[in-house]
Chains A and B, each alone.
Chain A
Amino acid sequence: MGNTNSHSKQRFSFRRSERHISSSSKNSSSIPTITATTRNQSPLTTVSSFNVHHQVSNNAISTPNNQEQQPPSDVVFAASHALVGIGAASSSHCSNNNQQQTPSSPVLLSSSMNTSFNVFPLHHVDSDMTSLTSTTTSVRNSRTALSTSIHISDIPTNINTVMQISNPTQSRASTTNNNTTIHTTTINNTTTISTTNESSNLKSRQSLPPSTQQQIARLQENSGYRRSLSTPKLSLLKKKNVLKAFFMLHRRNTIDEAEMKGEEEFGRRVTDSEEFISMQNVNTPIVDLSPSSSTQLPQHRPRVHSITSAATSDSSSSATRAGADTDTDTTIAAELDEKKKIANILNKSFSKTRTVIKTQSHSHVEIPSSDHGKTPSDRKNLERSASAPSIMTNELELLLRDAMGFQLFKDFCVAEFSVENLNCWQELLDMEKNFIDMSGKRRSKVINMVYDKFLDDGCSEEINIRGKTKKLVDTERKSGTINLDTSKHLLHEIKRDLYTNLVDSFSRFIYTDEYKLWHELKTNPSNVFE
Chain B
Amino acid sequence: MTQNISPQKLLQLTTSKRGFRRPKPKSPSVTRKDSLNLKQTQKQEIKANLTENEKNQEQEKIIQEELKRKEEEAKKKEAEDKLLELKRIEFLKKEEERKREIEKQKELNRKKKAEERKKKEEQEKKKKEAETLKKLEEQKRANSTDKIQNPEDLPGEIEDSYKDQETNLTEYIPKDVEDQEKKIDTKIFLKEDPEIDRSEWVSNVMSRNPGIENLYQRLNPLSRAQNFCYLFNPGFAEVREKLTKEMLLQIIMQHFMCLGFRKTKAILEEESKVKYEPHYLKDSRLQTLLRISLQKIDYIWELTQLKTRTEQENEERATKLAEHFTSLGLEDEDEDEQEDDIYFWKEPPDSNIIYQEDKDTGEQKKIKAASLNKLVERLTHEQEHSLPYLETFLMTYQSFTTPKMLLRKLIQRWHVPKSKNMADEIFRPKKRSIQLRVCNVIKNWIEKHYSDFQTKLKKEMLDFIENTIATDGHVSLSNQLKNLLLSGPKTTVQIKQSGNNVKSFEDQKLTAPEPKVPKNIFSPTLSLFDVDEEEIARQLTIREFSIYSAIKPPELLNQAWSKAKYKHRATNVLMLINRFNEVSAWVATTIAKADRIRVRVKVLSKFIRLCEHLNELNNFNTLMAVLAGINNSAIYRLKHTWEDLPKRFQDSFAELSKKMASDSSYKNLREALMQVNPPCIPYLGVYLTDITFIEDGNPDKIDNLINFYKRVLVSKVIINLQQYQQMGYNFQPVHQIQILFQKFQKWDDAEIYKKSLLIEPRNTDRSEIL
A is bound by B: no
A binding-site residues for B, Cβ under 8 Å:
none
B binding-site residues for A, Cβ under 8 Å:
none
